Amino acid sequence: MRNLRRKTRLGLGIVVTVLALWTNGATAQTQQLVGGASHWAQGVSQEDQKTARELFYEGNAALSESIFAAATEKYVKALRHWNHPAIHYNLALALMKLNQPIEAHEHLTSAMHYGPEPLGKDKFGSATQYKELLDAQLVRLTLSCDEPGAQVTLDGQVLFEAPGKYQGLVRAGAHSILAFKKGYMTSDKSRALMPGEKVTLELKPYLIEYKRRWPAWMPWAVMGSGVAMAAGGGLLHQQTSKDYSVFDTGILQCGGCDPKPDGLAATRARGDTLQRTAFGAYGLGGAALVTGAVLLYLNQPQPISMDPGQKEETVNLIPLLGGTNGVLAIFRF
């Protein structure tokens, strides 16, 4: 609650400051464009000065009538003929009323380039206060990227192609800050920027590599072992059928006699054992096939971003045999 009150008082203070500055600054529209031997008049012909003055006064008339878009248009045209600090100053006034603080800040900087002389002390003081107010509302953003060929964008607009650097003012609020390059993982530094903040960000797209969890042969080896076990079960099943056939034939030949333990009975017992073993081989082979299929799915290549300075992960797989069957995975970073 205390922070809310503080922000409310700060907002009211800014509004009062803006109104006071606007009242003082708006009178700049009546000043004359001083030329002569001044630095800002060097190289400007009398004809261009005359045209700039006419456009400047037309802009002042629009500004006094609060027609800010028309005033902006006149001042921009006037600057094409004469880069006079007073034109920059009045253009900044119009741009602030049009809610274009970044552009207004740029023209205030140009208006103050030669000091107080072309504006007068009062107007120069107002320009200084305006600029300080805008500095507290805007964000000074510095972006850099060293990856050759990467494009750095701010809110979808390309700023530069790396390697390079950007420095400028942006509005406070959420911004999309990206650096992307084909075949590389996009570097995303998007964030909310606070008023008056100075932010320096380095963007670094990382090369995309594709890696598997385990060696490519491992799932196929598991599936192959399943096929082998199932095939072995099939061979055992064939032998079981032969033993059962010998047993049945012997029983028929002796007219349904009681088989002797060392004769037909042993053949029947061996067939039963081979049949159980075959069914077990089928079960293990099927489980191995399913496990291999799952491992094959999980072992698909996955994209990862590789930082050249980052150590690569290693994985060792150790089979556990004996009382506890399974696989032990050891990860090293």
* Residue pLDDT, tens place only, 255-292: 666 566 556 667 767 777 877 887 777 787 788 778 87
Under the banding of pLDDT at 50, 70 and 90, the label for residue 317 is very low
> Rounded distance, CA 148 to CA 151, Å?
9
Q: Are residues 24 and 84 in the same domain?
A: yes
The domain total for the chain is 3
Please spell the DSSP secondary structure of 257-303, one letter per residue: PPPPTTTHHHHHHHHHHHHHHHHHHHHHHHHHHHHHHHHHHHTS-EE
Q: Are residues 224 and 286 in the same domain?
A: yes
Q: Are residues 110 and 145 in the same domain?
A: no
pLDDT in tens, 48-61: 999 999 999 999 99
Residue-number span of the structural domain to which 196 is assigned = 139-209
Apex 126 CA angle, 121 and 127, nearest 5: 95
Q: Are residues 9 and 76 in the same domain?
A: yes
Q: Are residues 18 and 108 in the same domain?
A: yes
Q: Are residues 224 and 202 in the same domain?
A: no
In a domain, 29, yes or no: yes
Q: Are residues 21 and 67 in the same domain?
A: yes
Asked if residues 131 and 139 have their Cβ atoms less than 8 Å apart, the reply is: no
Q: Are residues 24 and 96 in the same domain?
A: yes
Q: Are residues 233 and 201 in the same domain?
A: no
Please spell the DSSP secondary structure of 153-165, one letter per residue: EETTEEEEESSEE
Q: Are residues 79 and 114 in the same domain?
A: yes
Q: Are residues 205 and 226 in the same domain?
A: no
Overall average pLDDT of the 185-210 stretch: 89
Q: Are residues 194 and 227 in the same domain?
A: no
In a domain, 125, yes or no: no
In a domain, 21, yes or no: yes
pLDDT in tens, 207-265: 777 677 778 777 777 777 878 777 777 777 777 777 667 777 777 767 666 566 556 66
Asked if residues 25 and 92 have their Cβ atoms less than 8 Å apart, the reply is: no
- Kindly tell me if the per-residue pLDDT of 314 is higher than 90: no
